[in-house]
Amino acid sequence: MKLSKCAVLIGVTGGLLGGWLSQPRPVQALTTQATVKLTRKTEIGPVAPVEKLPDEINTTGSKGNLTIDAVSNLNYQTQAIDQAITLEPSSTAVAVQVSDRRAQPTGWELTVQPSGLRQGSRELQSQLDWPTTGELKTVATNVSRPPQQVSPGQLLNQRANPVLAAKAGQGIETWALVMATKTAPVTLQLPAQKLVAGSYRGTLTWKLVSAPTN
């Protein structure tokens, strides 16, 4: 019985030893390096829309590392008014596109300042409502986190109202905010008032600020 047990033990040991002897043993080991240097272009041209945007959008032609690339006009259809009313844009969507191609993206904020609507010296009592339910779009290869929709809802005339904000590391490369009229309309609120017929016009002043946001 002892002889049988010994034969089994030697067989196992021999198998392990043969496996170890069959493994290749390094004669010499070296460590080398792989390096790459990345730089940013010193001159960066205008950025094209990330996709087909509404027909009434204007491309700005802005050049640089932090830019507003495109922004929509706001047009509303002719309306007879004798009481308070809410109007939706005549276009299918309103959009604005921002690009951040800085080497150190520390954050940014996009604001819009409505002037109010006027006809000559006559001012129309009005207010724009900008919801936070728009759609953020970017190119398929962009893996950065999106900016945040931070509109207060009702935009104050003659004030810079925040619309989009990006913290450090957010909103890198190109992002478009699309406000579809069917799902997230930028509405015009007109309270009941005495009106003179005619066309009323105003402006929207957009500003893109490079600054860390909380």
Q: What is the pLDDT of residue 18?
A: 55
Q: What is the pLDDT of residue 44?
A: 77
The mean pLDDT of 39-66, rounded to a whole number, is 80
Alpha-carbon distance of 113 to 204, in angstroms, equals 5
Q: What is the pLDDT of residue 11?
A: 43
At residue 37, does pLDDT exceed 60? yes
At residue 41, does pLDDT exceed 60? yes
Which of these, 134, 137, 155, 168, lies nearest to 203 by C-alpha position?
Answer: 155
The mean pLDDT of 114-129, rounded to a whole number, is 93
Alpha-carbon distance of 84 to 34, in angstroms, equals 68
Would you place residue 143 in the very low, low, confident or very high pLDDT band (cuts 50, 70, 90)?
very high
88 vs 6: which has the higher pLDDT = 88
Q: Which residues contact 153 (CB under 8 A, 6 or more apart)?
A: 129, 130, 131, 132
